[in-house]
């Protein structure tokens, strides 16, 4: 049986954004590909120019080159043959490293035979300046933020970049989500057109989504741009909650002030159009996102969608997850949650951010068992 802890360290050591990596013991390869943002680029950059900058980053968001021209990774069975199936794996909020996802991707490739695409959300992973993730540089930002914001809690070097940016303008959350949807739309369009070196034309594409990646996926399926996702299957792990029941206030996600600003803005200003995002087109994406904010908003539209697609969506929540609670997923899915959602619990201490605590003193056998419990279900469905 695979030892997740040992394998995580191994894969992390091999991992590279710059060159193809062959994993000799499994005949897999990790291949980086370049992505240059085109779809929706004018709309997004016009909007980004209007957002207030932060003290630590004087450039407007549209000038952050790393966000529009970056590498994403494909885990694939090694070999020349083009594939006709793919899984896109989407990560959580405020993540800067793929470390924990490498074993997830590898297991899904090995078990399903399908390549897995690790695709970064806007301004996350390698789509932001490296200094945003450098503790030596960000610690002074934390001190400044603690001086500027009364009674702020959970402000750390790990969340100060995202927290400051969200506090300055909460609409950044929607803007980067919208940008990420455009990016996935572009990627899937390129793949289905036969323009990707790994995939055949009309490749079928499914999604494995964790945490905020699940919200992104729900919006993507609801909006279904160009009908590209009409047959896509979605497996959500620790994700899928209605927005107003999520709790992103954590030392490695958002500080208290940023999280409160986010909830206040989207539950009120955004829904009630007090501060309309005038530069965004009002379209299927905006409608889909709005329906995911509060349970009673566009409830019939949202719940009937999940009812009609319940055969192609599965979700697993964890009992002790306080960031994405089971109740939030139930509220999002409505009656369809009976068919889609399963709540599990593990016999060891875990958190939303670290469901498989490979660096803890927990019995590795129990962690491996929990990992297989989740990923065998995911692989069977995807």
Question: Other C-beta atoms within 10 Å of 130: how many?
Answer: 10
Q: Within the chain, which residues score under 70 in pLDDT?
A: 1, 274-282
Task: State residue 265 phi and psi, 5-degree precision.
Answer: -65, -50
Q: How far apart are the first and last CA of the chain?
A: 21
pLDDT of residue 337: 97
d(CA 125, CA 162): 12
At CA 128, angle to CA 126 and CA 131, rounded to 5? 100
Maximum Cα interatomic distance, the chain, rounded to a whole number of Å: 58
Structure tokens at 230: 């009409």
C-alpha 167/C-alpha 54 separation (Å) is: 10
pTM, two decimals, is 0.96
HSE-CB for 119 with a 13 A CA cutoff: 28
Q: How far from chain centre, in Å, is Cα 87?
A: 14
Q: What are 143-152's contacts with CB under 8 Å, separation 24+?
A: 144/55, 145/255, 149/255, 149/257, 151/256, 152/255, 152/256, 152/257
Structure tokens at 233: 């299957």
pLDDT in tens, 304-331: 999 999 999 999 999 999 999 999 999 9
Residue ranges of alpha helices (H) inside 276-320 are: 284-290, 299-308
Per-residue pLDDT at 83: 95
Q: How far is CA 267 from CA 88, 100, 219, 291, in A?
A: 30, 32, 17, 11
CA angle, residues 196, 127, 268, in degrees to nearest 5: 110
The per-residue pLDDT for 283 is 78
The closest alpha carbon to 207, from 187, 193, 226, belongs to 187
Question: Which residue matches tokens 């360290």?
Answer: 9
CA distances from 194 to 39, 184, 297 (A): 17, 15, 39
Structural domains in the chain plus CATH codes = 4-139+160-246+276-381 (3.40.50.1820)
Element (H, E) at 72: strand 69-77
pLDDT value of position 27: 87
> Which residue, chain included where needed, has tokens 């080159």?
65
Residue 67 has which token pair?
């966000």
Report the SS3 class of residue 90: strand
Burial track 88-110 (b if 16+ CB lie within 10 A, e otherwise): bbbbbbbbbebebbbbbbbbbbb
Phi, psi of 196 (to 5 degrees): -105, 135
Residue 176 CB coordination number (10 Å): 23
CA distance 24 to 189: 32
CB 11 within 8 A of CB 23: yes
């Amino acid at each position: 049986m695979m030892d997740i802890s040992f394998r995580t360290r191994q894969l992390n050591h091999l991992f590279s954004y710059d060159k193809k990596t062959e994993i000799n013991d499994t005949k897999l390869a990790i291949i980086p590909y370049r992505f240059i943002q085109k779809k929706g680029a004018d709309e997004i950059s016009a909007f980004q120019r209007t957002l207030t900058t932060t003290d630590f980053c004087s450039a407007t968001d549209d000038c952050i080159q790393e966000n529009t021209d970056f590498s994403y990774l494909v885990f694939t069975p090694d070999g020349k043959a083009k594939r006709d199936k793919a899984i896109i794996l989407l990560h959580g909020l405020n993540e800067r490293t793929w470390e924990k996802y490498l074993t997830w991707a590898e297991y899904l490739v090995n078990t399903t035979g399908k390549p897995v695409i690790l695709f970064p959300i806007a301004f996350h992973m390698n789509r932001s300046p490296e200094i945003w993730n450098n503790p030596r540089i960000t610690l002074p930002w934390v001190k400044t933020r603690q001086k500027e914001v009364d009674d702020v809690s959970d402000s750390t070097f790990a969340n100060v970049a995202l927290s400051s940016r969200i506090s300055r303008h909460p609409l950044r959350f929607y803007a980067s989500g919208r940008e990420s949807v455009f990016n996935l739309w572009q990627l899937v369009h390129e793949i289905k057109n036969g323009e990707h070196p790994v995939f055949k034309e009309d490749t079928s594409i499914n999604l494995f989504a964790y945490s905020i990646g699940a919200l992104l996926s729900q919006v993507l399926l609801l909006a279904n741009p160009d009908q590209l996702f009409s047959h896509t299957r979605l497996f959500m792990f620790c994700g899928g909650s209605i927005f107003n029941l999520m709790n992103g206030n954590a030392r490695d996600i958002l500080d208290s002030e940023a999280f409160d600003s986010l909830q206040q803005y989207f539950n009120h200003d955004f829904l009630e159009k007090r501060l309309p995002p005038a530069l965004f087109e009002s379209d299927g994406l905006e409608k889909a996102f709005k329906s995911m904010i509060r349970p009673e908003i566009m409830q019939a539209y949202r719940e009937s969608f999940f009812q009609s697609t319940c055969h192609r969506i599965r979700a697993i929540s964890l009992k002790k997850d306080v960031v994405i609670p089971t109740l939030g997923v139930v509220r999002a899915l409505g009656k369809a949650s009976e068919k889609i959602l399963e709540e599990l619990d593990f016999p060891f201490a875990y958190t939303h951010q670290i469901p498989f605590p490979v660096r803890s003193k927990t019995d590795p056998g129990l962690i491996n068992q929990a990992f297989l419990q989740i990923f065998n279900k995911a692989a069977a469905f995807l």
